[in-house]
Every structure is written in structure tokens, then in C-alpha cells.
Amino acid sequence: MYKNLLKPIFFLFDAEKVHYFVFSLLKISFNIPGVSFIIEKLCVKKHNSLKVKAFGLEFDNPIGLAAGFDKNGELIDELTCFGFGFIEIGTVTPKPQEGNDKPRLFRLPQDEALINRMGFNNKGLEQVVKNLKKRNSKIIIGGNIGKNKLTPNENALSDYKICFEALFDYVDYFVVNVSSPNTPNLRELQEKKPLTDLLMGVQNLNNLKLKPKPILLKIAPDLTNSQLDDIVEIVESTKISGIIATNTTISRENLNTSLSELNRIGAGGLSGRPLSERSTEVIKYLSQKSFKKIPIIAVGGISKAKDVQEKLDAGACLVQIYTSFIYEGPAVVSNICKEICQ
């Protein structure tokens, strides 16, 4: 029903407006008695073969919702009913921010892809914490944290620490995001010295806690092998728990979408099917370079069980989806889990 009826209608309208419309629709629908029960029965697939243990946590299945979909943790209970093994909220910044100018989210249907230049738009820590306090679901939650646009890189650690402290009691793991292409100069923090200092600063704060929580680093797919070597070294030296590979790419290679359309859309990070190959390459390289000692969450071009298997074979232990949730619809997780079990 989604792919044949709803998706063609949704795709007639602005992508970001549809996103917020669907959010409102889900909130209203799930307030109707019995809806959450029915959706959960249809979409949640539980089986011992699906369970995964990673960085000290046990996941009901290996398929998570990537950061960016529910930035403010507003729909955790509703999204849990669609069968995800975990949900990552954010990117969250200390202060609320509007993000970049609209339009800033674009579909590339010929490539089953999206381009976004959202710019860490979110309602800020205070509101996110309020939302997390209201949730009833026990699903594993990741907190993806970043810095405000106006915070200079030399003061970035302060923003990450503020987010870490405020979210610590409400999330199960953290993701340090320095790889979005949509915040000016943010990716400069992926360089060896600033990244080591940033991760060490957050990890030192983590080590003061009675029960420290896993900290992961989200990296760009556009890093060179030399930079990936540095990432492995940094993860090992700072003793963080793992890597998320990868964020969106600034590359526009091998797309079916016309050059004129890409020029019309302009700058932004590309996600979806075209990212699959590069994401797998990065995962495989990191896994081999670290002798499979670093847990990796795979993101990029995952919509079928074979895509999940490809990432697991490359060295990942978990995967996340975002773009395929939009292209394949709400049954995507259930379908993948069924295929895996078979």
C-alpha cells in the first residue's frame, strides 16, 4: 500500500514538509486505541537469531534507525512499533537552532537517494530531555551529539560535554558527530589532533561516571585511507567503543539523476543507495585495519537483507537505515528481519 499509493502522493510535495506531516500523522494515529498494538503485531519480528550483543548492550535485532529522522526524540514509542532494534536521536546541540535555509531536503528517486543540508536543526537539549523523559518504550536509544553552528571549533569540546552530561541518564550510548557536511568547518574536527582531543575530553568525562556508557564516532565516507588509519589509531588510543560508518557524502559520482537537477539542488550530503559501495569499502578497511577489534555500525544504502549481510560480512555488527525507510516504507525493518530469519 505504501509504495503503490502513499509514496507517489508524498513524493508530489516538498520532502521536509512531508516529513513533518508524517510525524503529525503518526502522533495522531497512535493516540487511537489499538493502533500501536496492530502496528507492532504487523511489524515487530522477534527471534533469538536476530539478537546482537555489541559494546555491552543487547539488541533485539541489528537494524536501527539512523540519526536525523527523529532529531528531538519525539516519536520513540511510535517508531519502536515499526520493529527497529534501536533508535538514534539527534544530532542534538546545546542550544536550539533553525538549521540552514529551506528548501534543504531533496529526493533523487532515480537513485533511491536523498540530499540534505539540514544543518543540525533541532529544538535543543532542554526540549530533547523533556521528550526522552516521557517515553515508555525500553528500546535502546543512541544520543547523537554535535556543536552549535556559532560555536567555534576551538570551543567545540564544551558543546559536546554539555550534551553528554544532559543526555547521560536518558540514552544508552553516545555518538560524537563531526562528519556532517552541512555545518561550516565541522569536518575539520575529523583531523587527527582536534579529534583526539575532542574524544579524549568526552571519554574523560565518561570515565568519571559510576557506569560509563559506550561512545561511538560517526565518520564521513569521504576520508582517505590515510585518514581512516588515523581514525583507527584515535579510537584505540581514546578507548571509545566503536565507529559509525558512514555519514552522508559530498560526492556526486555515478548518479542517474541529471547534472542539471543536481546543480539545481546544490550542496548537501547524499544518502541512500549510491552510498552503499563506499560505505562497505570503509567498513571493510576499518575492520581489517583494526583486526576486527572495533565494533562498527554500518549506514548507507541498506534496504534489503542482502544489504545487511554485505555490511556484516565487511565487518559491521549492526546497521542503521534512514533513506530506505522513506523509499521502502514502514514495513522495511519487518521485511529485512523476516528475510534474515529465513
Task: Express each pLDDT in 27-73 by its tens digit.
Answer: 999 999 999 999 999 999 999 999 999 999 999 999 999 999 999 99
Strand 269-272 relative to strand 113-116, pairing = antiparallel
Q: Tell me how far apart the alpha carbons of residues 228 and 215 are, in angstroms, rounded to a whole number.
A: 18
Beta strands in the chain (DSSP E): 52-54, 57-59, 63-65, 86-92, 105-108, 113-116, 140-145, 173-177, 215-219, 242-245, 269-272, 296-299, 318-321
Q: Tell me how far apart the alpha carbons of residues 79 and 99 are, in angstroms, rounded to a whole number.
A: 24
Query: Which pLDDT score, from 0 to 100, does residue 163 have?
Result: 98
Rounded to the nearest 5 degrees, what angle is found at the Cα of 220, between the Cα atoms of 219 and 225?
90
- The active-site residue, picked from 29, 49, 180, 276, is 180
Q: pTM of the entire structure?
A: 0.97
Query: Which pLDDT score, from 0 to 100, does residue 342 have?
Result: 86
Q: Tell me how far apart the alpha carbons of residues 183 and 99 are, in angstroms, rounded to a whole number.
A: 9
Cβ pair 337, 63 in contact under 8 A: yes
Query: Which pLDDT score, from 0 to 100, does residue 1 have?
Result: 86
Query: Which pLDDT score, from 0 to 100, does residue 299 have?
Result: 98
Identify any residues that bridge with 64 across adjacent strands, giving them in sequence order. Answer: 86, 320
Convert the pLDDT of each residue in 116-137 to its tens digit. Answer: 999 999 999 999 999 999 999 9
29 annotated active-site: no
Dihedrals φ, ψ of 13, to 5°? Answer: -115, 165
Unique residue bearing C-alpha cell 535543543: 124
Flag residues of the chain having pLDDT under 50.
none
C-alpha cell recorded at residue 239: 578507548
